[in-house]
């Protein structure tokens, strides 16, 4: 099955599109196991400092983040916390995995992805966990990677309803979905630019199957432009608040690091340069910080760093796995 994985271990994300498997690509037309193996060669404990962030270091905005964690059970649930790692509140619970997505532009809702018995689907909820509404519900069709338009009226997402990963757009209530990409390769992980004019995504078009680059396109699917052109495998692009840069995860030397690049493709910089796995970057609202997940302490933790890669601080410091941060804008 080339849809979303169920994960065999807490050492990796609990839910991923096959096209997003870590570090190694899966050839097309090859049967894929329903479990991802445990990550190996986890670095030794590095004794990262406990969070002691001042308000000025919290990245502006209203001071809230969401993330996924299995700290209260076997399944990944969604949690909320302050950007200094304090005041952790559980938002979801149940007998299946839910992983977080971004806050709505007005800060009142979240969009996220959950996994049912046979497929993944997208839902919205209030930021206290109430009012959960399933907005996609195609039987046996995996859908995920949602992101809000800047005006909060639409959501862009990835769907496998066409038997490969394609990017769709829909109203925030799930109505009027429309396909934006039409390509026999995989297009997924879309994210909307701050001004609403462009959508960034990753695709293995023009490359070997499973070797993704970052692309942008207009919101009607036109003017597709390749942004990264290197030997790495790129994932999960996110726009800087000023719209001038894109942060993303890339596997270039056997493990994944967090990179930033200018929107014209220039100025590529590796921010983490670490033998551990570094995934899921998220910009702070003021653009001065990037949160991400890393296994450099032996399990997944949420870290924050300056946009030059300095000032690393572990926000979560928990023996469970804490993953996929999103910052309230």
Weakest mean pLDDT among 16-20, 29-33, 153-157, 180-184:
29-33
CA distance 110 to 78: 10
Q: What is the pLDDT of residues 84-115, one digit of tens each?
A: 999 999 999 988 999 999 999 999 999 999 99
Q: Strand, coil or helix: what is 19?
A: helix
Residue 1 clears pLDDT 90, i.e. is over it = no
Enter the tokens of residue 119: 């497929």
Please count the residues of the chain: 329
Q: Pseudo-torsion of CA 48, 49, 51, 53, nearest 10°?
A: -120
pLDDT band per the 50, 70, 90 thresholds, residue 9: very low
Q: Pseudo-torsion of CA 206, 292, 279, 228, nearest 10°?
A: 20
pLDDT band per the 50, 70, 90 thresholds, residue 57: low
Q: Is residue 141 part of a domain?
A: yes
Q: Is residue 307 part of a domain?
A: yes
Mean pLDDT of the chain: 85
Q: Is residue 57 part of a domain?
A: no
Global model pTM greater than 0.75: yes
Beta bridge partners of 159: 143, 166
Q: Is residue 24 part of a domain?
A: yes
Enter the tokens of residue 9: 């271990």
Average pLDDT score over residue span 150-169 = 97
Helix, strand, coil shares of the chain, percent, nearest 5, are: 0, 40, 60
User: Higher model confidence: residue 44 or residue 81?
Assistant: 81
55 φψ region: left (φ > 0), alpha (ψ -120 to 50), beta (else): alpha
User: Higher model confidence: residue 60 or residue 324?
Assistant: 324
CA distance 75 to 81: 19
pLDDT band per the 50, 70, 90 thresholds, residue 60: low
CA distance 269 to 46: 24
Q: Is residue 52 part of a domain?
A: no
CA distance 269 to 52: 27
Q: Strand, coil or helix: what is 55?
A: helix
Q: Is residue 168 part of a domain?
A: yes
Quick check: 200 and 215 in contact, CB under 8 A? yes
Q: What is the pLDDT of residues 293-312, one digit of tens each?
A: 999 999 999 999 999 999 99
Weakest mean pLDDT among 114-118, 121-125, 214-218, 231-235:
114-118
Quick check: 304 and 83 in contact, CB under 8 A? yes
Q: What is the pLDDT of residues 179-225, one digit of tens each?
A: 999 999 999 999 999 999 999 999 999 999 999 999 999 999 999 99
Domain count, the chain: 1
Q: Strand, coil or helix: what is 262?
A: strand
Q: Is residue 58 part of a domain?
A: no
**Furthest-apart CA pair in the chain: how many Å?**
51
Residue 45 clears pLDDT 50, i.e. is over it = no
Q: What is the CATH number of the domain that holds 304?
A: 2.120.10.30
Range of the domain at 139: 4-39+63-327
CA distance 312 to 133: 36
Report which DSSP code applies to 57: G
């Amino acid at each position: 099955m080339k849809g979303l994985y169920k994960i065999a271990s807490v050492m990796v994300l609990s839910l991923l599109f096959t096209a997003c498997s870590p570090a190694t690509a899966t050839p097309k037309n090859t049967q894929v196991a329903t479990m991802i193996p445990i990550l190996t060669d986890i670095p030794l404990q590095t004794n990262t400092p406990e969070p002691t962030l001042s308000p000025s270091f919290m990245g502006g905005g209203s001071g809230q983040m969401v993330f996924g964690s299995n700290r209260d059970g076997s399944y990944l649930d969604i949690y909320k916390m302050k950007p200094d790692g304090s005041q952790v509140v559980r938002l979801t619970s149940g007998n299946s995995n839910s992983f977080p997505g971004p806050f709505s532009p007005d800060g009142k809702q979240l969009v996220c992805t959950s996994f049912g018995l046979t497929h993944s689907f997208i839902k919205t909820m209030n930021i206290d966990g109430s009012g959960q509404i399933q907005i996609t519900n195609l039987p046996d069709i995996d859908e995920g990677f949602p992101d809000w338009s800047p005006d909060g009226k639409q959501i862009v997402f990835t769907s496998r309803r066409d038997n490969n990963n394609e990017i769709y757009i829909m109203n925030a209530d799930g109505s009027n979905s429309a396909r934006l990409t039409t390509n026999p390769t995989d297009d997924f992980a879309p994210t909307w630019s701050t001004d609403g004019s462009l959508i960034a995504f990753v695709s293995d078009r023009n490359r070997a199957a499973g070797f993704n680059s970052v692309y942008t396109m207009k919101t009607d699917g036109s003017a597709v432009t390749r942004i990264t052109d290197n030997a790495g495998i790129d994932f999960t692009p996110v726009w800087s608040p000023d719209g001038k840069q894109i942060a993303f995860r890339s596997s270039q030397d056997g493990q994944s690091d967090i990179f930033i690049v200018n929107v014209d493709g220039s100025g590529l910089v590796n921010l983490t340069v670490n033998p551990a796995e570094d995934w899921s970057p998220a910009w702070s609202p003021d653009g001065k910080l990037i949160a991400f997940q890393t296994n450099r302490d032996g399990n997944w933790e949420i870290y924050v760093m300056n946009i030059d890669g300095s000032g690393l601080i572990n926000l979560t410091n928990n023996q469970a796995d804490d993953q996929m941060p999103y910052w309230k804008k």
